[in-house]
Amino acid sequence: MKEAKSRITAALCGNPNCGKSSLFNHITGLHQKISNIPGTTIDLKIGHARIDDVDVKVIDTPGTYSNQAKSKDEEVALEIFEAQNPERPDVLIYVADASNLRRNLLYFSQLASYNIPMILVLTMMDTARKRGLELDLDRLQNELGVPVLICNGRTGQGVDKLKSRLIKPAFTCHYNFVQDAENPIASAYKSIDNLLTRTTHQKSREKLFTERIDPILTHPVWGYFIFLGVLLLVFQAVFKLAEYPMELIELGFDALGIWLYDILPANWIRSILVNGVIAGLAGVVVFIPQIAILFFFMSILEDTGYMARISFIMDRILRGLGLSGKSVVPLLSGAACAIPAIMATRNIENWKDRIITILVTPLMSCSARLPVYTLLISLAVPDTYVLGIISLKALMLLAMYFVGTAASLIAALVFKFFIKQRGLSYFIMELPVYHSPRWKNIGLTVFHKSKSFVLEAGKVILIVSVFLWFLASYGPNTEEGSIKPTEIEQLESSYAGYFGKTIEPAIEPLGFNWKIGIALITSFAAREVFVGTMSTIYSVEDEENIASIRSKMQSDTHSDSGLPVYSLAVVISLMIFYAFAMQCVSTLAVVYKETKQLKWPVLQFVYMTGLAYVASFVAYQLLR
């Protein structure tokens, strides 16, 4: 019998690593988006599927082990099950890893008490069979009173059956899971054990691939070597693979700017579009390749289960610094961009560990610093090779990455003593079974994370770029129709120029003049804007040609002494400043959004910029 067109809401629930996301992707295909739960800032994946005449809305809730929320994400997963919640789903699809049924059924037993109809989906049956599990499916179904289906998250086998089951009437679980008030978890496990002795049978098992390979990957010596090797490989790949698309994007935006410049009449609208909006957009879009490729590799590491081992071998070291093994993912992501890195701190349960990770992550050398370092290194470091093969310039760049990493770890150690502990720091974590990457999941993760980067960073950078365009285009003495003969004169008499000169006394001890001052100010949109500003200041026609900016900067001399402005001391001081200073407004905005307290972005800005000032001062005074 065909029903009239109707709609139902289904929620996917289950433990982390149970194959929930694969199932979600199989059910909804590409019809999914990330949206907020009303009244929160937590993003949930929501997808739609059309099954016969029914429109099914599927909510993918974050994986959790129980209904006692431990982290922010888990808290949200539970809110929607409350009876008064308007988003309360009509049916729960509970996904359980069959190879680990006992623990997977704990959360099931807790959800059963919410009296929402349920469907139990078992995944990873192949691993379960290898582990010697025999399951009486009919018996389990009868005992629970809800449909029990088997799905393969990798191949999608069984998903069609689940889909057609989804639109039939569903039932609430009638198995009596005991939850005595005194010891709810132990008693729930007791009733799960009773259920499992009646419905499963344990045979002898074979040794799993995971059990053979883990002693090597977590080995006291080889473990770290392998981790370092993987890290080097990933970053090498990120920079190499991103080079070409980044170049194309830059060329594309240049062409767009020139085209708009030609077709629009010469007025402020043209100026704001070309020098504000287009320049701002280019600054965001150019990082998409690097960030997408980094996300790609990070998702592979996470999806295969290796990331959990990295956390495992790094926890003892990071704990001493006030961080946790789980800080590894944010810190590594920070080497591409601090924005997604800070969003990735959400799965650190402990508040103090999370805050410290957020505070120190922007010290990791992000990719926006790369163009700045490249220009400055080419100014000061000669084209020589150490031992005949290692470029001195590459070595210098590596040193800057080292400086950033060391600074973030030292800063963490300092914060460890100043930030009060809230709750307990713990590292009770499942080490999931290794499996080959699920490419569809990885593809979708990369897409969604890149998208949220563009939206989060994009709007802030755009606003700041337009504001900076205003500062650089108008000055206190700008008159209507006044013509400045050159760009540099216009910049000099603009607000930005005045600011540059105003802060000159403050930055002089660091070796910086007012021109650098302007670049420091414009860098607040994004650090790489430094290069563009320098090319404007030195009236370079071809902005893309670093060599021409470099030669102009190199020939700049002090008018009184005749010595070059960009001496080694100034260049080193400037690089140190860019390594430490908090010059990224989008990151500050994300920190505020994630912590919901103004004091954290403020503290971050003050400590990082203060550190930059002091370190640059010391470097310049020692080297000059």
Partner 1 sequence: MLLSDLKRNQLAEIKRVLPSPIQEKVMEMGCVPGTRISLALKAPLGDPIAFSVDGYYLSMRKTEAQTIEVKLVHEGS
What is the contact surface with partner 1 in residues (CB under 8 A)? Answer: 65-66, 68, 70, 99-100, 102-103, 106, 131, 185-186, 189-190, 193, 210-211, 214-215, 218, 220, 223-224, 308, 312-313, 315-316, 319, 325, 423-424, 426-433
> Residue 221 or residue 563: which is nearer to partner 1 going by CB?
221
CA 396 to chain centre: 27
Closest CA to 10 of 53, 46, 63, 64: 46
> In Å, what is the CA distance from 340 to each residue of 28, 46, 82, 590?
25, 20, 31, 9
Give the nearest distance from C-beta 106 to partner 1 in angstroms.
6
> Residue 218 or residue 609: which is nearer to partner 1 going by CB?
218
- Gap between the Cα atoms of 344 and 357, Å rounded: 10
CA 363 to chain centre: 15
Give the nearest distance from C-beta 331 to partner 1 in angstroms.
18
- In terms of Cβ atoms closer than 10 Å to its own Cβ (0-12, 13-18, 19+), residue 423 is exposed
Give the nearest distance from C-beta 232 to partner 1 in angstroms.
20
> Residue 312 or residue 512: which is nearer to partner 1 going by CB?
312
- The angle, 0 to 180 degrees and rounded to 10, between the axes of the packed helices 101-112 and 184-199 is 120
> Residue 270 or residue 319: which is nearer to partner 1 going by CB?
319
Q: How many CA atoms lie within 13 A of 559 on its CB side?
A: 1
CA 19 to chain centre: 21
- Gap between the Cα atoms of 291 and 269, Å rounded: 32
Give the nearest distance from C-beta 171 to partner 1 in angstroms.
26
Q: Are strands 118-123 and 133-135 parallel, antiparallel or unpaired?
A: unpaired
> Residue 210 or residue 271: which is nearer to partner 1 going by CB?
210
- The angle, 0 to 180 degrees and rounded to 10, between the axes of the packed helices 209-217 and 306-319 is 30
Give the nearest distance from C-beta 329 to partner 1 in angstroms.
15
Give the nearest distance from C-beta 187 to partner 1 in angstroms.
9
> Residue 107 or residue 613: which is nearer to partner 1 going by CB?
107
Give the nearest distance from C-beta 425 to partner 1 in angstroms.
9
> Residue 351 or residue 600: which is nearer to partner 1 going by CB?
351
> Residue 132 or residue 252: which is nearer to partner 1 going by CB?
132
- Gap between the Cα atoms of 271 and 500, Å rounded: 22
> In Å, what is the CA distance from 456 to each residue of 227, 449, 590?
31, 10, 7
Give the nearest distance from C-beta 71 to partner 1 in angstroms.
11
CA 204-205-211 angle, to 5 degrees, is 150
Give the nearest distance from C-beta 312 to partner 1 in angstroms.
5
> Residue 83 or residue 428: which is nearer to partner 1 going by CB?
428
Give, for 491, the enclosing helix (H) or strand (E): helix 487-492
